[in-house]
Amino acid sequence: MTSALPFDDFRNLLAALPPAETAAETKVRALFAKADQPGNSLGRIEDIAAWLAAWSGRAPPVVTRPLVAIFAGNHGVTRHRISPRPVAATANAVELCAAGGAAVNQICIANDLGLKVFDLALHIPTADLTEEAALDERGCAATMAFGMEAIAGGTDLLCLGDLGVGNSTVGAALFVALFGGKGADWVGPGSGADAAMQARKAEAVDAAIAFHGTSLGDPLEALRRVGGREFAAIAGAILAARMQKIPVLIDGVAATAAAAVLHAANPAALDHCLLAGLSPEPAHIRAAERLGLRPLLDLGISHGEGAGAALAAGLVKAAALTSAG
């Protein structure tokens, strides 16, 4: 008897990604060209509308069921004192969203967006990635599959964010695994780390990279070994959206690191994605450049808790209406 490995289905999907609907994109650009105005006078609004058409297959595009999906996870690496916030802050943030009191709640109301917040076993942090794999393959694959279910209720624009104390350190570890360098090249202040704490973050990243060694050459192995549950779920959500022709907005360092895993496996894996905005975290700027992602907004929002994606969704909705009207 033979049995497939847990990652096999994801590898197969990454090898057979559906392409863009170029006819829909061409139609939208033709609609703008016919308008009684100077060519490309609306700048990136025209590009956003064309992108939306290409990846939804609808021309002119429409956005009627936008969804902000936020994935929350906790990390064993926080025991190295790499965050100024207690681990309990992740659950507190989830509860605040559930109660309607977070910034993203208000932005969703303003832009008429749906909102889902996913608690990814916050009571069971992932293993300390400096000493063992954060997740085993089965657990990582299951979390990716769970992330794919974010679109199950139906959506035509998926906006992704994250919650997780310590996940800027985890994101830095993934960036080193995927792009190279040292921990010091990719860590930053995160949620307010001082110089000493940033040094501990860099040490933790370097220890993780040294421990896992050549196993990190495979992107999905890197995801399970030095990633975390919210990273795996976001990667699954991005992949599911691609298969279902749903355009995606990415927000924050963690979501960008999760996206980078898919890009490493297939450079075309993020063609249906736009970057909502840049955080002040230096690693985010560098990673966006490596991935060829140009942000829609630059508002200095420092965390990827979905607020940036929700704001950018309003811009995408306006682009769709502009092309249609």
Residues involved in catalysis: 305
Q: How many CB atoms lie within 10 A of CB 98?
A: 13
Can you tell me whether residue 119 is helix, strand or coil? strand
235, 144 contact by CB (below 8 A): yes
Q: 48 Cβ partners below 8 Å, 6+ apart? A: 274, 296, 315, 316, 319
Structure-token pair, residue 177: 């695994």
233, 115 contact by CB (below 8 A): no
Q: How far apart are CA 79 and CA 253, in angstroms?
A: 21
Residue located via tokens 């916030």: 85
| C-alpha Rg value of the chain to the nearest Å | 19
Can you tell me whether residue 315 is helix, strand or coil? helix
Element (H, E) at 126: none
Please tell me the number of Cα atoms within 13 Å of 298 on its side-chain side. Answer: 8
Between the two ends of the chain, the Cα-to-Cα distance in Å is 59
Please list, residue by residue across 218-243, b when 16 or more beta carbons sit within 10 angstroms of its beta carbon and e when fewer do: bbbbbbbbbbbbbbbbbbbbbbbbbe
Q: How many CB atoms lie within 10 A of CB 99?
A: 9
| Entry field: residues in the chain | 325
Q: How far apart are CA 35 and CA 77, in angstroms?
A: 55
